[in-house]
Every structure is written in C-alpha cells, then in structure tokens.
Amino acid sequence: MIKVIIGTKGTGKTKRLIEMVNSAVDTEKGHIVCLEYGDGLKYDISSQVRLINIKDYGISGFDAFSGFIKGLLACNYDISSVFVDGALKITGDDLDKLGETLADLEKVEENITITVLVSADAHNAPESVKKYIV
C-alpha cells in the first residue's frame, strides 16, 4: 500500500511522519525503515527504526529511488513499513514522474506500506499522486 502525505513547507508533514513511524514501532511486528534526505530525524525517530540518510548512498532521481526501495525489500522480507521524508529532494520535482514511480512501487509487495512525504501544494498534484493521498 502506498500513502502520500502532501503539503507545502510548514504544514506539519514531518511531525506527522515522526508520530507515524514511532507508532508503527509499537504496533507492527515487522521491521520499520525510514529514509530521509539528510540526518534531521535521528533524535526524533525510535532507535528500533532503521533510519537511512539517502544522501550517504548517492541516490538521486526516480529510477535510483525506486531501485533503492526495491533493493531494501528484496534483501529483508521482514520489512513491514517504509517511510520516506522529503521524496522530492531525493527524486526531483516532477510530480507526474512521482506518480509513475509510486504506481511502480505499489506493484512490488502488497503487504508493505510505503508512506511518502511530498512538499508541494496538493491542488497541483496530478491524479496519479492524488489517489495515494491520506
């Protein structure tokens, strides 16, 4: 399942993500992974979560982003949730391409929830992204 949290800067997306991640630690039996662009969440996220600074791996662009997530899921069958903070910082600002990438990731595994934060105006999002907004 794919979930998108979208809003402009300062609308509380990251705070909501932190709450969701830490709640998942308490309620889910699988491993929780959180991807971020930088290391700003390291003091807010539970130490039980695998926090990955995507910059450390040189990931940029939609194909690399999708491949990285697929690689994570392929090497660890115990992952139940993946959270991504700052998706457009990782991939680029093309919301149409983001919609295509999310649709591609949705096909990978139906028992995993991928939650993506997008800093953009929800009114400007294409339908391919809007269908995932929670």
Nearest Cα neighbor of 118 from 13, 10, 1, 48 is 13
pLDDT value of residue 3: 96
> Distance of CA 59 to CAs 44, 48, 54, 91, Å?
23, 24, 6, 8
Integer Cα distance of 48 and 37 in angstroms: 19
pLDDT exceeds cutoff 80 at 9: yes
Mean pLDDT (whole number) for 26-48: 94
Answer for the pair 22, 134: CB distance below 8 angstroms, yes or no.
Answer: no
Q: What is the pTM of this model?
A: 0.94
User: In the CATH hierarchy, which top-level class contains the domain 2-109?
Assistant: alpha beta
- Given this model, what pLDDT does residue 108 score? 87
